[in-house]
Chains A and B, each alone.
Chain A
Amino acid sequence: MLATDTQTAAAPHAAHGKRVKMKATEVEVYYSEKRALNKINLDVREHEVTALIGPSGCGKSTFLRTMNRMNDVIDGCRMAGKILLDQQDIYDPNIDVVQLRARVGMVFQKPNPFPKSIYDNVAYGPRIHGLVRSREETDAVVQKSLERAGLWKEVKDRLHEGGTSLSGGQQQRLCIARAIAVDPEVILMDEPCSALDPIATAKIEELIDELRTNYTIVIVTHSMQQAARVSQRTAFFHLGDLVEVGDTAQIFTNPNDERTQGYITGRFG
Chain B
Amino acid sequence: MTDIVERPQGVASRGAALGVHATEEAQKRLKRRYASEWRFRAYGLTAILISITALAVLLWSIVGQGYTAFTATTMSLTVTVDPALADPGGKRAQDDLRTGDFQGIARAGLRSVFPDVKERSDLRALYTILSNGASDAIRDRVLDNPALIGQQITVRIPVASDYDMYAKGFAAKTPKGGESRLSPKQIAWFETLKADGKIHSSFNIWFLTSGDSRQPELAGVGGAIIGSLLTLAITLAIAFPLGVMAAVYLEEFAPKNRWTDLIEVNINNLAAVPSIVFGLLGLAVFLNVFGLPRSAPVVGGVVLALMSLPIIIIASRASLRAVPPSIRQAALGLGASRVQVVTHHVLPLAMPGILTGTILSMAHALGETAPLLMIGMVAFIVDIPSGATQAATVLPVQIYLWADSPERGFVEKTSAAIMVLLAFLLAMNAIAIFLRKKFERKW
Contacts and interface: CB of A to CB of B under 8 A. Distances in A.
- Most-contacted residue by chain A among B324, B334, B349 (CB, 10 A): B334
Interface in A83-103: 98-102
A69 to B, nearest CB: 9
Interface stretch (B304-312, B335-343, B427-435): B335-343
A70 interface: yes
A213 interface: no
Interface residues of A, number: 27
Contact of A101 (B335, B344, B441): B335
Contacts of A258: none
Given A75-B255, A75-B256, A99 B333 contact: no
Interface in B347-372: 349
Interface in B314-332: 324, 326-332
A129 B338 CA distance: 14
B41 interface: no
Contact of A108 (B326, B340, B345): B326
A162 B441 CA distance: 12
Contact of B334 (A75, A99, A125, A164): A125
Given A75-B255, A75-B256, A112 B334 contact: no
Contacts of A108: 326, 329-330, 333
A105 interface: yes
A129 B335 contact: yes
B326 A98 contact: no
Nearest to A110: B326
A115 B349 CA distance: 9
Contact of B327 (A98, A106, A114, A125): A114
A106 B331 CA distance: 10
A115 B333 CA distance: 16
A77 B333 CA distance: 17
A179 interface: yes
Contact of A179 (B324, B328, B334): B334
A98 B337 contact: yes
Most chain A beta-carbon contacts within 10 A, residue among B255, B326, B335, B443: B335
B333 A179 contact: yes
Contact of A182 (B328, B334, B337, B338): B334
Contact of B335 (A110, A128, A164): A128
Grouping DSSP codes into helix (H, G, I), strand (E, B) and loop, the B interface class, with mixed when no group exceeds half, is helix
Contacts of A30: none
A112 B333 CA distance: 11
Contacts of B326: 108, 110, 112
Contacts of A14: none
A100 B336 CA distance: 11
Contacts of B333: 68, 70, 101, 105-108, 179
A73 to B, nearest CB: 6
A102 B335 contact: yes
B338 A99 contact: no
Contacts of A45: none
Contact of A114 (B255, B256, B330, B340): B330
Interface string A21-34: 00000000000000
A112 B329 contact: yes
A28 to B, nearest CB: 22
Interface string A97-140: 01111100111101011110000000011001100000000000
B38 to A, nearest CB: 41
B343 to A, nearest CB: 11
A141 interface: no
Interface in A173-208: 175, 178-179, 182
Contacts of B441: 115
10 contacts: A68-B333, A73-B338, A112-B324, A112-B326, A114-B331, A115-B327, A115-B349, A128-B340, A129-B335, A179-B334
Interface of A: 68, 70, 73, 75, 98-102, 105-108, 110, 112-115, 124-125, 128-129, 164, 175, 178-179, 182
